[in-house]
Amino acid sequence: MTSKKPSKKRHTVQLNSDKLRLLVALFAIIVSVFVIVVSIKSGQKELPVIPSSTTLWPYGLPEYHVEVPQGYEDLLPSAAEPSIGTQGINGASTEATKRLPAGTESGESDIKDSVEPSQSLPRLPPEYQGERALPFPIALRQHEALRSEVPTLIIVIDDAGHNIEQLEPFLKLPFPITLAVLPGLGYTRESAERIVAAGKELILHQPMQALGGSDPGPGAITLDMTAEEASNVLLDNIDALPGIVGLNNHMGSAVTRDPVFMRAVLDIAKMRGIYYLDSLTSSGTATAVLCKEMELPYWERDVFLDNSGDKQSILHALEEGKKTAKDQGAAVMIGHVWSAELAQTLMDIYPQLIEEGYSLSTISHYMIKSATGEIGASIGD
């Protein structure tokens, strides 16, 4: 008996059917992958991005995470030392001197001539080295007597402008706080408007070139500019943020050591009637001496709140700030808007700070109270 061979037509139909099923399966896989990716990205928008040694925060990490050319490491703040600054608030004189690079005694850098960094880095002339203790630029000797009465904590939160989600918790804090906004970002203007609307203090977080190769971001002052170009950049950034009462540096361990650039910055600050806060991302900035020459109030960061982002480290940094405030009347503590636990930690610790007799204020309010002799008049400012 002869068997019938399957027809060619039937075989072709079966092949086409298999191909169709394969294409459908592939399409389903592609759609599934797309949905998963979109879900992940959507979820990530709601979560803060926390910088780490392996995560590059937009436009560079804080200076204490920056890699610098060999020989310049001692100029950067140490994560193990929350406070580099030994200078009193507004230039209040202290007996301590600045932390010097290893092996130095007079404030001169121990950087060897053989070091060839990838970019030109400024070296300070002798008058900008050594002691940083300055006399009070505003006559306020009664501040000395009020130190132990109401020590003041001044909290500044840097790096606003990347998004709104990370900013919101700080706007809800029930005490005075300063927020520093980066220029030229997608949420720069909205962040500034929300800060002012919430009654918080707004300052410009001015990007400046660092010792390492990290990008400081839009609107930065860099060493390849002229002083006039740097002034124009700063003016543009100030004009784009109506309502600011001060500015501080974002990164800037290279620029802040250059007296020419810093004079240009401080000239603009004086002309516009705003204060300058030295974030002290380098241990040898030119700011203190220039403020003395220009008769400007001198402000600098005392403590970084979030060298490490965990709650225990933040609480430890707050303790450092409390000690500094008791010693010199006030302490400026800088944190970052992307720190996941910072806002909640500040909220949690606030009742205890008030109970312990600390006042929370901002630089502008503190200067007003200083000038009018009202320091210590109220808790919580």
Per-domain boundaries in the chain: 85-92+133-372
pLDDT of amino acid 300: 94
pLDDT of amino acid 46: 40
Per-residue exposure over 337-364, b if at least 16 CB sit within 10 Å of its own CB, e if not: bbbbbbbebbeebbeebeeeebbbbbbb
pLDDT in tens, the chain (381 residues): 555 555 555 556 566 667 777 777 777 777 777 766 665 555 444 444 444 433 334 444 455 544 455 555 565 554 434 333 333 333 333 332 222 223 223 333 332 232 233 344 444 555 554 433 333 333 232 333 334 468 999 999 999 999 999 999 999 999 999 999 999 999 999 999 999 999 999 999 999 999 877 789 999 999 999 999 999 999 999 999 999 999 999 999 899 999 999 999 999 999 999 999 999 888 789 999 999 999 998 899 999 998 887 899 999 999 999 999 999 999 999 999 999 899 999 999 999 999 999 999 999 999 988 777 665 444 455
Within 10 Å of residue 108's Cβ, how many Cβ atoms? 15
H/E element, 18: helix 8-45
Q: Any residues with CB less than 8 A from the CB of 80 and at least 6 apart, and which?
A: none
Which residue has tokens 């030229």?
184
Within 10 Å of residue 232's Cβ, how many Cβ atoms? 14
pLDDT of amino acid 131: 35
CB 154 within 8 A of CB 333: yes
The residue among 152, 337, 330, 183 whose CA lies nearest residue 249 is: 183
The residue among 172, 251, 171, 261 whose CA lies nearest residue 218 is: 251
pLDDT of amino acid 372: 73
Give per-residue pLDDT as tens, 128-173: 544 333 333 332 323 333 344 689 999 999 999 999 999 999 999 9
pLDDT of amino acid 31: 72
What radius of gyration, in Å, describes the C-alpha atoms of the chain? 27
Measured CA to CA, the distance from residue 370 to residue 361 in angstroms comes to 12
Q: Any residues with CB less than 8 A from the CB of 122 and at least 6 apart, and which?
A: 223, 254, 255, 257, 258
pLDDT of amino acid 79: 40
Superfamily of domain 85-92+133-372: Glycoside hydrolase/deacetylase (3.20.20.370)
